[in-house]
Amino acid sequence: MNPKWLNEVHILGRDQVSNTAFALSNQPGQALFKRLCAPCHAIGGGDRVGPDLRDVTAQRDRAWLTNFISDPKKMFAAKDPTALALAAKFPAVRMPSLGISDIDARDLLSYLDAESARITDSPAGSGPQASRHQH
């Protein structure tokens, strides 16, 4: 162990920065969504194990969403009516406590806003949902 190492300037090489499981993005929350949320949720692709999160910030209060993302068990324990309704609609699985901070929850909500807007503004109008209703 080199005791001087802590006081030296260390610049990460390109290989070290790019050696991550996720592509770096300028969109906060994207990596979190892909790693933690995407296994159960879609954005504009319809319900999966959990609800489709397209336009969720327009449908629910941001403070409620932040609290639910940060500590869903607390919301269930408090018998929050919206949390209980979600549990009834999706009985196979409950939203797990993922240890997400309020800041990360806000980043996730910003990402959901951006993706919802992107889908709405896409040339198809409303993405995968539109093709289902046209048949």
pTM above 0.75, yes or no: no
| Residue 132 reports pLDDT greater than 50 | no
Q: What is the pLDDT of residues 11-50, one digit of tens each?
A: 655 554 444 554 555 678 999 999 999 999 999 999 999 9
Q: Which domains does the chain have, with CATH numbers?
A: 28-133 (1.10.760.10)
Distance between CA atoms of residues 28 and 24, nearest Å: 10
The CA-atom distances, in angstroms, between 88 and each of 47, 68, 104 are: 14, 16, 27
What is the predicted pLDDT for the residue at 16? Answer: 46
